[in-house]
Amino acid sequence: MKITTATIQHHTLQFKFEAGTSRGTLKEKDTWYLKLFSENKLMGIGEAGPLKGLSVEPLDKMESELEKVCEQLMGLEIPQFREDAFEIAEDISPDGFPSIRFAVETALLDAMHGGKKQIFDTPFYKGEERIPINGLIWMGSEEFMQQQIQEKLDAGFNCIKMKIGAIDFETEWALLKSIRDKHDKNEITLRVDANGAFDPNEAMNKLAQLAGLDLHSIEQPIKAGQIQEMTKLCASTPLPIALDEELIGVNAYEDKVNLLKQIQPQYIILKPSLIGGIQSTLHWIKIAESLNISWWMTSMLESNIGLNAICQLASYLNVKMPQGLGTGQLYHNNIASPISIANGETFYDLKKDWGEL
């Protein structure tokens, strides 16, 4: 069966609230859907959802690059094996556009499974397995953050991730302490994400203060690209460090190996849209595990199309640790989907249908 038509559809996702990070506040997010047809039947959908200010690709060139990809896809046979889908995606995806690579891979894998939003054959897709996730606390006023914390605890989350670095450190520390005073580490796992907010000269002192709260880990305490400083921190940190932005733009397999060998972090965070898709994610995992580095995956604020693919990848990899996959409820205008959340877990609710794009 051949791909007779390939099209793109732009969509602007609207946040339900102002989502604060150390890089600024998010109110909306552009995303593009790659649709593959055989004759008149929709066979596959993939999402290219770069994040302004973080992704490497220039947003003003997304549409033109996707149009070139569509031209190359038309007339190709729908792949029968995953490796063939990866090979096609590698051949036709433009350099420097990791989210497009993710979109091509997932659209082809969806088409390979018959256009049913199935990316992998996993218990998750069949509604038989739930994936533990962390509850995400966005930056904002102390009152707003406290409100989010209580909502996540009330919703049954036992792993909470708080973004820090936007308000003063003392207030953020006090918020974390307020959780820890009520719930020890055996009840609630606490993660923090600094998004590179700490100055290298003060990072170790702040890590020591945070470690006193029995935190699970901190993501990207200092800005990416400061390899020597990050290596020193990871070697002597009292709190496990997870690399996140540090992985952006590291594409060659050998460069991935060299980066992890040098820095030796305790964890890496994998965002397929940011690091070049599913195949690249699998490469990072293989290297990390060979170096005894643990990992987990998070979405990059994709709509439910991209989130569905990442959830299925997590299920395929048989994850046990809480993942960062609870972002499907962030938007007013997300596509309706079977992806649901209850008691700190995400699952595929077979009683729900996919909405129309």
Question: For 182-222, what is each residue's pLDDT tens digit?
Answer: 889 998 999 999 989 899 999 999 999 999 999 999 999 99
Residue 124 has pLDDT above 60, yes or no: yes
Position 126 in a domain: no
Considering the domain boundaries, does residue 121 fall inside one? no
What is the C-alpha to C-alpha distance for residues 146 and 113, in angstroms, rounded to an integer? 44
> Amino acid identity of 233?
L
Domain final position from 48, 77, 112: 112
Q: Are residues 158 and 293 in the same domain?
A: yes
Residue 68, in any domain of the structure? yes
Q: The domain that contains 144 carries what CATH number?
A: 3.20.20.120
Same domain flag for 182 and 244: yes
Active site residues: 163, 271
State whether 320 and 187 are in the same domain.
yes
* Residue range of the domain that includes 98: 5-112
Cβ atoms of residues 312 and 112 within 8 Å: no
Rounded Cα distance between 137 and 326, Å, is 11
Do 334 and 252 lie in one domain? The reply is yes
Q: Is residue 212 part of a domain?
A: yes
Give residue 23's pLDDT: 60
**Same domain as 306, residue 174:** yes
Domain-terminating residue out of 112, 140, 166: 112
Whether 120 maps to a domain, the answer reads no
Residue 117 inside a domain? The answer is: no
The answer to whether residues 84 and 144 belong to one domain is: no
pTM over 0.85: yes
**Do the beta carbons of residue 230 and residue 207 sit within 8 Å?**
no
pLDDT in tens, 271-327: 999 999 999 999 999 999 999 999 999 999 999 999 999 999 999 999 999 999 988
Q: What pLDDT digit, counting tens, does each position of 324-343 carry?
A: 998 878 899 999 999 999 99
Shared domain for 95 and 135, answered yes or no, is: no
Kindly state whether residues 189 and 326 are assigned to the same domain.
yes
11 & 143 share domain: no
Closest CA to 211 of 191, 235, 182: 191
Which among 3, 5, 7 has a CA at the least distance from the CA of 66?
A: 7
Task: Answer whether residue 125 is part of any domain.
Answer: no
Say if residue 129's pLDDT is above 90: yes
In-domain check, residue 208: yes
pLDDT at 148 over 90: no
Regarding whether 236 and 100 lie in a shared domain, the answer is: no
Same domain? 82 vs 141: no
CATH of the domain at 86: 3.30.390.10
pLDDT digits (tens, 9 = 90+) for 35-74: 999 998 999 999 999 998 888 999 999 999 999 999 999 9
Q: Within this chain, do residues 137 and 229 fall inside the same structural domain, yes or no?
A: yes
**In the chain, how many domains are there?**
2
DSSP one-letter string for 227-268: HHHHHHHHHH-SS-EEESGGGTT--SHHHHHHHHHHH--SEE
